[in-house]
Structure 1
């Protein structure tokens, strides 16, 4: 059997989009074909005990391409007879590729997500990315947007193949019941706009709050449910208080991963008006939350950042909005709340599209082909 060594800093129980993506990819593979080398994190021992494949943890909270990490990866590849290596994030761990190649690994693959598009925009980091790509047989990208940004810098160094995240369409489903979440936060039967994401400036929760009074002018009973934690939370709470929105805006804080489907289901409309920041260095690579919301049968409102528009069929599954205009965002949200039948039809169309294009059944075949070369 061709066993794959997965080298990744991004792995559960640490939460985040890359962590979720990597773990879900591995769930599509035969467990006996995998061994994982990852950074450590509180709760790792308990988490790993429940996995069907072997996980080896480095005694560090941040796995970097150090000589120690290289020695550990080489030892593990040799001990488990791994002929393929998959880097959960090519930058920077792909710098370990030459040492693994010298150790006899035959195929090396590195995944990119969103942050690498920033790397290739900076001269010094661009050279590092080119060095990484030159050591890999294949570099994967998650969206047409990220390929457009990566190809000029890396296309002559390696093969580029699309490997997008997929959605667990059984877990994220229109059949999920959001009633318990509504009851927990006192939402009752009010129309609810929900946003599920880390609370950071790029995600646009501040724009939702800034435009929420416009939504209330047309829908006084509406509620805004902001799901997630992050550094923007104190500022958001201050903005909610300053605008007198305490009765209509709920910040849940961090939510366990297993509860996320019910939080999507608690909303009537999903919105995350993400925006590109820092001259293109802070950008949305794709935006799995849009696809998860669509899988739950909710119409989706996305910002224009990076690959986010690729998660929406405009006017069919939702809308792409100007994320720098609170008024424009509010107008789209109020319009969807105006016409619940249209919103439900968009949600149904989104569910069908996710099943066709974004399910793990489709992604699993791509991942297998990438590993097999």
Structure 2
């Protein structure tokens, strides 16, 4: 296999430089690819080198193009991209973000190489610049993560639905497990005798759709029924000062804990310390909901987004209008009462893993790649 020319080229903006839902999804997809009998090359614009031992070596070769000069990094990336296509003529190119789509369409068009565009959520939901829309129109395949994103792509861009395939997000059920609340975190965040609501999200001013401010505004109502509630917010970003100020204005600053950035290996304990995962958002999918339910925690999401897939259209959790403070408060009160079957942790985990395990992703990716070869 070492001397075999690569079958596929994957290009991404970043995989290891930051942590987030897209990066987690990409890593899961590449792990699934490593189990297949193909040789792949991965180019990553903003990374220097892979930092995940599970992805290094074997049938995947990585090259990062991060540079002190953004322009030099981009030039090197584009030159290497085109050179690789000319020399190796891979069977297929997987473009990992619409922002890399224009150059992918140009190079693959010149060399008559088919390409797939990976999509995730908001970046393709609404009207795109003409050149980016043409990337989707001319793509041989579009992969997206949920039924909702599939529908939005079609509605906004009138793309042939037959070439849009769903490759869902999944959860590592061996890592995200049901366990007693970690004593160290209870002490660290002063959560003794508390009911804990949790959100894991970027706190960027451009991402207020995550709904952290909505949950904060819902807390005064929740506290009337459940005065021992505390809200643990995991994440960092430039919106945190505004959110802190909001807690002060509402007089609940002692009820909201901003934990800041937490490395992925430590996230499991944070899910385990909570009583419910709350994120009234607009997600392309929402891996965090899977992680919460795999840990046996009831979840709350928005009601008009890709979270319909992990919550299985409300079968597994509460779906509410994502900016409706009263609806969030009412649902949280109901969740904390714990009488609904959707609060049954063992059942939640079982139903989640049944549809969204790593094995499901392995099988689906294999199926999609084989289908392309036969088409």
Question: What range is the shorter-chain TM-score in?
Answer: 0.7 to 0.9
1:124-135 mapped onto 2 (5 Å cutoff) = 125=128, 127-135=130-138
Deviations 1:111-160 (A, max 9, x none): 11112333xx32xx253333112442110121111111112425339711
Pairing partner for 1:179 from 159, 183, 187? 183
Q: What is the alpha-carbon distance in structure 2 between the residues aligned to residue 305 and residue 64 of structure 1?
A: 41
Is the aligned partner of 1:54 residue 2:61? yes
1:34 equivalent to 2:37? Answer no
Q: State whether residues 65 and 93 of structure 1, in contact with CA within 8 Å, keep that contact through their aligned partners in structure 2.
A: no
Distance 1:259 1:80, change over 3 A: farther
Post-superposition offset of 1:293: 0.8
Task: Compare 226-235 and 315-324 and name the one that shifted more.
Answer: 315-324
1:323 corresponds to which residue?
322
Match of 1:371 in 2: 369
Does 1:289 find its partner at 2:288?
yes
SS at match of 1:29: helix
Matched, 1:273 2:276: no
The counterpart of 1:88, out of the listed 91, 96, 100, is: 96
Contact 1:133 1:157 in 2 (8 A): no
**Larger displacement relative to structure 2 (64-73 or 262-271):** 64-73
Q: Relative to 1, partners in 2 of residues 1:24 and 1:269: Cα closer, same or farther, differing over 3 Å?
A: same
Q: How far 1:264 sits from its partner (Å)?
A: 1.0
Question: Relative to structure 1, is the Cα distance of residues 22 and 217 closer, same or farther in structure 2, using a 3 angstrom cutoff?
Answer: same
After TM superposition, the score normalised by the length of structure 2 is 0.85
Matched, 1:333 2:332: yes
What does residue range 64-143 of structure 1 map to in structure 2 within 5 Å? 69-77=77-85, 82-93=90-101, 95-103=103-111, 105=113, 107-118=114-125, 121-122=126-127, 125=128, 127-143=130-146
Number of equivalences = 357
- The structural deviation recorded for 1:88 is 1.5
Listed as ranges, the gaps of 5+ residues in structure 1 are 275-282
State the TM-score, normalizing by the size of structure 1.
Answer: 0.86
Match of 2:354 in 1: 356
Secondary structure of the residue aligned to 1:247 is helix
Do the aligned partners of residues 147 and 67 (structure 1) sit closer, same or farther apart at CA in structure 2, a change above 3 Å counting?
same
Stretch of structure 1 that moved more, 81-90 or 247-256:
81-90
Structure 2: runs of 5+ lacking an equivalent:
none
Structure 2 distance, partners of 1:63, 1:164, is: 34
How far 1:196 sits from its partner (Å)?
Answer: 1.1
Tell me how far 1:302 sits from its aligned partner: 0.7
Q: Which residue of 2 aligns with 1:17?
A: 21
Q: Which residue of 2 aligns with 1:188?
A: 192
- The root-mean-square deviation of aligned C-alpha atoms, in Å, is 2.8
Deviating runs (4+, > 6 A) in structure 1?
61-67
User: Do the aligned partners of residues 356 and 46 (structure 1) sit closer, same or farther apart at CA in structure 2, a change above 3 Å counting?
Assistant: closer
Deviation at 1:5, TM superposition (A): 1.3
When residues 179 and 94 of structure 1 are mapped into structure 2, their CA distance, relative to the original with a 3 A threshold, is farther
- Whether the 8 Å CA contact 1:4–1:83 is kept in 2: the answer is yes
Shift of 1:268: 0.7
Deviation at 1:96, TM superposition (A): 1.4
Distance in structure 1 (CA, Å) of the matches to 2:181 and 2:9: 38
Deviation, 1:192, is 0.7
1:168-191 superposed Cα distances (whole Å, 9 cap, x missing partner) = 111112147533322221112311
How far does the alpha carbon of each residue in 1:189-222 deviate from its partner, in whole angstroms, 9 at most, with x for none?
3111111111231011101111101111111111
Distance 1:18 1:10 in 2: 9
Q: Measured at CA, do residues 76 and 184 of structure 1 come closer, stay the same or move farther in structure 2, by a change above 3 Å?
A: farther
Summarize the Cα distance change of 1:36–1:330 in structure 2 as closer, same or farther, 3 Å threshold.
same
2-structure distance, mates of 1:237, 1:63: 37
Mark the CA change 1:131 to 1:325 in structure 2 (over 3 Å): closer, same or farther. closer
C-alpha change, 1:360 and 1:171, in structure 2 (3 Å) is same
Contact 2:279–2:302 (8 Å) recurs in 1: yes
